[in-house]
Structure 1
Amino acid sequence: MEWREFAEAMARLARDLLAQQTVQGTLDEIATSAVKLVEGCDAAGILAVHKGRAVTLSKCGDMVEESDRIQAELGEGPCFDLARRAGSELFYRIADMTRPRDDWPRFAEAARTLGIGSMTGVLLYAQDEDFGALNLYARRPGTFTKDMETAGLLLASHASVALADARTIDQLEHAMESRHAIGEAMGILMERHRLSEDEAFDALRRISQHHNIKLRDVAQRVRSTHPPEP
C-alpha cells in the first residue's frame, strides 16, 4: 500500500474508531484494522496486563491468544520486555522469530511452534505495573520492515487516542447508569416505606456498608425485588 493510500486509510480508521459504541467494539476494530492495513500482517491483538494478570482484550487471528497466554505463563517475551522499558522504548520489531533467542528462549521456541515468523508491537499505555500493547504477527520471517514500523506507530497513535476516549466514555456511561439505578431505588424506598430522600439514600448506604456491596449493586437488587406496581 502506498503512503497516500495508507494515510487515507488512517483517516477512515479514525472515523470508524470514533463511531464505535463500546470499548470492546473499539478494541476489535483496532485489531481487525491492523491486519487489513499492515502489509503481510496475518494476525493482531491487544494484550493488557492488570495487577499481574494478562488478558487478551481483542484478537484477529488464531495465534494471538495463545501467544499472549504463553508470554504471561512464562513471564517473558517481547510484550513484557517492552513494558519494562516503557520509559525509553515504545516499539519492538522482531524480524525473525524462527531463530533461537537468548533473551526469552522459552517463548521463542513456543512461538516457532505456533508458526510465528515475525512480530512487531507498540505500547498503547503503561501505568505502574499495568500496560497494554498492540501486537502484530506474521507467519513469514522478515515481514515487518522499517516502513512497517512507521505504519505500526501511526496505527497505534490512532488506537491510543480512540482507546482512551472509549474508556472515558465507558466510565461516564457507567456512572450515569449507576446514578439512574440509585435514583430509581431511592424512589421505590420512598414510596413503599414513606421515607424522605435523605432517609432512602441512607438506607441504601447502610446496606452497602454492612454487606460490603457496591451502592449500585444494592440499588439494582432493590429494583429487581420491588417491581413497579401496576
Structure 2
Amino acid sequence: MPPQADKQRKRPKQDRARETRTRILTVSAQLFGTRGISNTSTNRIAAEAGMSIGTLYRYFTDRDEIVKELTDSLFLQVEERYAKLLTAAVDKTPRDAVAEVIHIAVEVLVSNGPLVRALVADLQFYGSGIPEFEPRLRMIIKLYLIQILGPTNGVDIDTMAFIFLNTGFATALRSVEMEEQGLDRDVVIAKTADMIGSWITTVTQESANQPAADQLR
C-alpha cells in the first residue's frame, strides 16, 4: 500500500532526484500508452523504471498522482504554445486563427499519442487537468480573439472563447485516432476551422450591423 499523504509530493531540487522523478514519469507514460492506465500498477512502473516501490513512493503517492502530473504536462505544453500567439504579430482571418489554435493542440497531443489514447480510454483526461487549465487556456483564446477582431462591441467574447476553445480542443483530442479510423486529419481540422471561423465572422458582422438596424426602427 502507498504511504498516506494529504498533498502532492514536493518537487525534488537535486539533479539526481529530478532525474529519478523524470524517469518515473517517462516509464509511466510508456506503460500507460501500451498497457492502459487501469492495467498498470505502481509496482509495474517501479520495476520497469529499475527502482524499488519505496523509491517511487518518495516521489508520487499513487498512480493517480502520476496520471495528473502527466496530464497537467500536456496542458502546460499547449498553454505555452498558445501564449506565444499573443506575442506574435496577428494578421489572420478568424478561420486561419482557429486553424492555428487547433494545429497547436494537435501537435502536442499527437506527439503524446499513446498516452493520450490511454487517458481518454480510462476517462482520466477529463477528470485531471481540465478544471485548472481550461480557464487559463480560455483567457488566452479570448485575448487572441480580441487581437484578431479588434473592438467587439455587442459581442459576447467570453462565450465565443469558450466555444472556440472547447470545440477546437475536442477536434484536436480526437485527431490522435483519426488516421486509425480512416479519416484525413488535415481535412477534419480544415473543416472545423471553416465552421468556427464562419460562425465568428457572422457573429461579429451581425454585431457591427446591429446599431444601424436599430436606427431604422
TM range (shorter): under 0.3
Of structures 1 and 2, the larger Rg is shown by 1
User: Relative contact order (alpha carbons < 8 A, sep ≥ 6): 1 or 2 greater?
Assistant: 2
TM-score by length of 2: 0.25
> When you count strand as a share of all residues, which structure comes out higher?
1
> When you count helix as a share of all residues, which structure comes out higher?
2
